[in-house]
Structure 1
Amino acid sequence: MKKVTKVFYISAIIVFLFIIWGIIPADILPKGNLNNVTTIIQGFIVDKFGWFYLISASSFLVFAIYLIFSKYGRIKLGRPGDKPEYSYMTWFAMLFSAGMGIGLVFWGAAEPLSHFHTPPYGDPETSEAAKAAMQYSFFHWGLHPWAIYATVALALAYFKFRKQTPGVVSAILEPLFGDKIKGGWGTAVDVIVVFATVFGVATSLGFGAIQISGGLSFVFGIEQTIMLELVIIAIVTVLFMTSAMTGLNKGIKYLSNANLVLAISLMLFLLILGPTGYIMNFFTNTLGSYIQNLPSMSLRMTPFNEDNAGWINGWTIFYWAWWIAWAPFVGTFIARVSRGRTVREFVTGVLLVPTIFGALWFSVFGGSAINLEFFEGANIIQHVNELGEETALFAVLEHFPLGAIMSVIAILLISTFFITSADSATFVLGMQTTNGSLYPPNLVKFIWGIIQSATAAVLLWQGGLGALQTASIIAAFPFVIIMILIVISLMKSFREEAKEIEVRRKQNK
């Protein structure tokens, strides 16, 4: 434990205190329980600063697109002779698995179905509602979240591999604040990063356990109980800790490739066995409307319509805050596996490949769900309302040939995404609490793995996962400001490097 910094101890204490707060029953603290307090704070932030999230997220997307076409696109994330560590396929698989794989499985059918019945505008359950449902699903999982991830990941990779600074978020801000960032302010930044990562991932572990148990219940008739969910967390903990101990180039690499194979297999199964022409027409039409309406959706607020304002707060602004809360975790991991790529190659890959794959995924699963509702009157939404959103995917699959086989593949996919997310998070937490070490000690990763799983299990048992998710999103608010500073610091370093390159070029003439 000689390598750990004070960020480790401060973060561990904060997490422990929040767990204790989260398991205190509401009748003991009727107004001061974690769920109540975090809900009030989040409601205030969303109500007063929703516009700030929209403008910030859109600005990060504009910044990412600018970098692709700028003169800085040729800068390499590493030394001049560095080559990429991973092939394109493995690189895409790893960043995708850590980024939002388990979320796509959970929401692939559930979100478009929800928007179809409760649209962002207009009448529900109409053709227009179906178009808006898919368009906003593309929007919520498309360019904006990946631009947020790319901004943090690019800065971390650039400063770590090109400038040889510690691989922690606070080190990115040194060009702006100098050595002052190495003191208390830098520690505060890194603690926020760890806080958001632990709670964000622990929440996902809890929800992943709920969906796996829901799938087992739906397919095999196993009773869905809290004990089953806790057993799933225990089993997955053993698996992801085993993977984490093997290192980045074995466990995470192989599992990420397996994720990609399973995900593509499941998607192709449904695409071929489902309404293929309808799905591809829906995909093509929605892709066009998404690109066409991207600017207006990006800045859409409803100052004259309270009902629509509630929809935007509950979906778009919630998602933007959630992606920002996940940015330190996903950004750190993407940065670690991206050494040797140019800025242009990096940003283009991170923005476009997951966005297109995600759009296809929603078209296949969400499109199939809407097709069943709109044309066949399947009424899947009633089933979802009764049994929970975690069963939406399985409720859709049972309507198609080989539905049981596809459901088993889906359960395996959720499990492998579950493992890679937790595995990646232990690695990131290890990096962030050992001053950016690329090879954090196994003991540190082990401790963070146990903390994550214990947090998920305890709060799942107490019903406090929602409060934990809200707490993580609250941490996103200060991190938005940190991200703005990251952009300024990165551009300052880019300009200085461009000047140095120009000077050397003139000297060599």
Structure 2
Amino acid sequence: MSGLPKLKNPLLFLSIGIILLFTLVVFFATEASYIVIEQASLWVRAYFGYYYLYLGLGCVLLLLGVAFSPLGKRKLGKPDERPEHSLWAWTAMLYSAGMGAGILLRAVQEPVFMQQNPPFPSNLEPEILALEFTFYQWGFTAWAFYGLFAMVIGYALFVRKKKVLVSSAIDNTITNKLARNGIDIMTIITTVFGLIAAIGLGTAQINGGLNHLFDGDFGLGTTLLLATVISSIAFYSAWQGVNKGIKVISKFNILVTLIILLFVFFASDMGAILLSFAKATFHYVIDFVPMSLAIGRYDPGMGFLTDWTFYYWAFWLAWAPFTGIFIARISRGRTLRQLLLGVMIIPSLGTFFWFSVFGASAFELIESWGSYQNEFGNVFSSIFVFFEHYPFATVLNFVTIFLLISFLVTSVDSAVFVLSMFTDKGKQHPSKRHRLLWSVFVLLATMALLVLGNVKPDIDVLQAVQKLLIITSLPFALFMVVMTAIFLFEGIKNLKR
């Protein structure tokens, strides 16, 4: 028994117990659970959707303010300490954890959808508006949510010498142990459901790619096998740790992604892509505030916001604690200014160029066809359909499937590592027992929900899990304001010393 985590660890066993209980309730009362989740998610988006918008804009402005303030000079670590990871390795790890497979999932489908269904009337060409709005949903705001948690947790970890726990950021002000444990349990549960949704979506896209390539009908068995392979590799990576596992795979992911990106870029109209990238980025920057507030002619309407922006903001918020904590963990030796500007600007610009390459190239294809029959409408197969119009299509499709698996691995391994830090008393180097436990539990929870989705074909369980993230992100959206206020108060107070 000495090799198992101690039963006295309430954070570990309460979290697992709550998730197991939820899974059992959903299994035995599937339809009722789905209805409750659906109604609750609609309620959150209806009553707190605009709050999410204001919170997102507030995070961007706040992080810029902190970055250029005297507080931005504060180093996460000793004053003379050098960054633990190179800029290349650091960027690769934060991007793989924060976005990863999502950019493959939406590379073609989202810009084309926005072109065919403009979010609001505009004097811009539909293609530029489509890219601008896609940038908006994947840009500064998403990374500001991550950056806020990275800033607060990084400060608590490397300046105040606290444990790697969300509750560590507020323990001087909120001293009630029950309340602090509740915050950490909420973080763990949200992270686990976020992982299940990510693995489910990723395996669905891989299935879509395999079915497209082989004109097959790969079903549940293939999905379960993919989930097992991804979780097994992720466990090995998390077992090896940040430097030997997570960093190596993350750098590989970004290298392969760049190769695919450059191949499509050079095989397409490079001038049109660069012009679209420049114009859409320019308009995104100047329109950022009114788009963030959805005011005047920049208001897409409640229906569009509910289906897209509110959902995206809730999804980024749900991932913010785990991703932010992981970014904080790998940011030792950087100043808050380097951390915040790096997190918001570098991956955002990379994402903008990615969507410009795939979006502008897809627009060019549609124009050459003369009409659009929703060829890129399926989110799980759109990128594979797109590659069919390029040289070495089969190679590109197989590399994309491989990259999807690899990106999912880096999302899962970094999340397993963070979950292990949480439940192993907030240690920066959690025990391998915890890494094994979380790897196995995440796999079992994912498999249970995938099986349930086939047992109840009339209920889209993965979609329900995504909607659940919208519900579980609300406490974080409210807690972030308190956490930020405490951080600013303590940070400014320490500057005066």
Same structural fold, with TM-score higher than 0.5 when normalized by the shorter chain? yes
Alpha-carbon distance in structure 2 between the residues aligned to 1:57 and 1:175 = 26
Query: Within the alignment, does 1:206 sit opposite 2:180 as a pair?
Result: no
Match 1:490 to one of 463, 487, 492: 487
Q: 1:247 and 1:491, CA in 2 relative to 1: closer, same or farther beyond 3 A?
A: same
CA displacement 1:361-403 (0-9 Å, x = unmatched):
1101122222212343363x63344xx3110111111111222
Question: Residue 172 of structure 2 aligns to a residue in which SS?
Answer: helix
Residue 181 of structure 2 aligns with an amino acid whose one-letter code is T
**1: distance between equivalents of 2:44 and 2:302?**
14
Aligned length: 486
* Equivalent residue, structure 1, for 2:456: none
- What is the Cα deviation at residue 4 of structure 1? 7.3
Instruction: Report the equivalent of 1:101.
Output: 100
What is the correspondence of 1:284-295 to structure 2 with a 5 Å cutoff? 284-295=278-289
Give 2:331's aligned residue. Answer: 338
Q: Which residue of 1 aligns with 2:190?
A: 196
Alignment partner of 1:382 is 2:374: yes
Q: How does 1:347-386 map to 2 (within 5 A)?
A: 347-377=340-370, 379=372, 382-385=374-377
Partner of 2:243: 249
Correspondence 1:452-467 to 2 at 5 A:
452-463=442-453, 464-467=461-464
SS of the aligned residue for 1:492 comes to helix
1:135, 1:303 → 2: CA distance?
A: 15
Could you tell me which amino acid in structure 1 is paired with residue 352 of structure 2?
Answer: A
Report the Cα distance in structure 2 between the residues aligned to 1:17 and 1:370, rounded to whole angstroms: 47
Which deviations, in whole Å up to 9, do the C-alpha atoms of 1:48-103 show, x marking residues without a partner? 11111111111111110101211111100112233211111000000000001111
- Which of 269, 274, 277 is 1:280 aligned to? 274
Kindly provide the amino acid, as one letter, of the partner of residue 361 in structure 1: W
**CA 1:302–1:15 in 2, change beyond 3 Å: closer, same or farther?**
farther
- TM-score, length-scaled by structure 1: 0.92
- Extract unaligned runs of 5+ from structure 2: 454-460
Do residues 392 (structure 1) and 382 (structure 2) align?
yes
Tell me what 1:136 maps to: 133
CA contact (8 A) 2:197 2:462 kept: yes
Deviations 1:297-352 (A, max 9, x none): 000058998x8210011111111111010001101110110011001111111111
Structure 2 match to 1:503 = none
Corresponding residue SS for 2:77: coil
Question: In the alignment, does 2:28 pair up with 1:24?
Answer: yes
- After superposition, give the CA deviation of every residue in 1:190-211 in whole Å (9 maximum; x if it has no partner): 0111111000111100111111
Give me the whole-angstrom Cα distance separating, in 2, the residues matched to 1:339 and 1:266: 31
Q: Name the CA distance, whole Å, in 1 between partners of 2:330 and 2:304.
A: 37
Q: Does 1:269 align with 2:263?
A: yes
Gaps of 5+ in 1: 501-509
Establish whether residue 429 from structure 1 lines up as the match of residue 429 from structure 2: no
Q: What secondary structure, in the 3-state scheme, does the structure 1 residue paired with 2:11 have?
A: helix
Contact 1:301 1:312 in 2 (8 A): no
Q: Indicate if the aligned counterparts of 1:157 and 1:336 stay in contact, CA closer than 8 A.
A: yes
The aligned amino acid for 1:494 is G
Does structure 2 conserve the Cα–Cα contact (< 8 Å) formed by 1:394 and 1:407?
yes
Which residue pairs with 1:507 in the alignment? Answer: none
Which residue is equivalent to 2:321? 328
2:310 equivalent in structure 1: 317
Map of 2:457 onto structure 1: none
| 1:72–1:498 CA contact under 8 A, matched in 2 | yes
Residue range with higher mean Cα deviation, 138-147 or 236-245: 236-245
AA matched with 1:402: F
Q: 1:169 aligns with which of 166, 169, 182?
A: 166
Secondary structure at 1:383 match in 2: coil
The question of 1:419 aligning with 2:409 is answered yes
Partner residue, 1:229: 223
For 2:139 and 2:195, the matched residues in 1 are separated by: 20
Would you identify which runs of 4 or more consecutive aligned residues in structure 1 move more than 4 Å? Answer: 301-305
Aligned twin of 1:71: 70
Question: Structure 1 residue 477 and structure 2 residue 474: aligned?
Answer: yes
